[in-house]
Amino acid sequence: MKLLVVLSALVALCAGSATPVVPDDNSHYVEGESRYIWMPDGEGVPHLVDLQEPANQAFLRNRNGANNQYWLYTRLNPTDPQVIVHGDADTISSSNYVASSPLMVLVHGWNGDGNSTMNPTITDALLAVSDANVIVVDWSALASSLYSTASAGVPSVGQYLGNFLVWLINTAGGDWDNVHLVGHSLGAHAVAVAGRMAGGLATRVTGLDPAGPLWRGNDDAISSNAGTYVECIHTDGGILGLFNPSGDADFYPNGGRNPQPGCLISTCSHSRSHQLFASTVRYNHLNGSLCDDINQAQINQCSGATFKMGNSDLSKQGNGIYGLTTGASWPF
The residues annotated as belonging to the active site are: 185, 209, 270
Query: The dihedral of CA 163, 67, 148, 32: what is its sign?
Result: positive
Measured between alpha carbons, how far is residue 35 from residues 18, 19, 265, 287 in Å? 8, 8, 18, 37
End-to-end, the C-alpha distance of the chain in Å comes to 51
Q: Which amino acid is at 157?
A: V
Nearest to 104 by CA among 159, 168, 193: 168
- Rounded Cα gap, residues 95 and 133, in angstroms: 10
- Rounded Cα gap, residues 232 and 222, in angstroms: 9
Q: Which residues pair with 48 in a beta bridge?
A: 38
10 Å CB burial of residue 244 (0-12, 13-18, 19+) is middle
Nearest to 188 by CA among 94, 269, 270, 82: 270
Measured between alpha carbons, how far is residue 241 from residues 44, 160, 207, 323 in Å? 15, 24, 10, 16
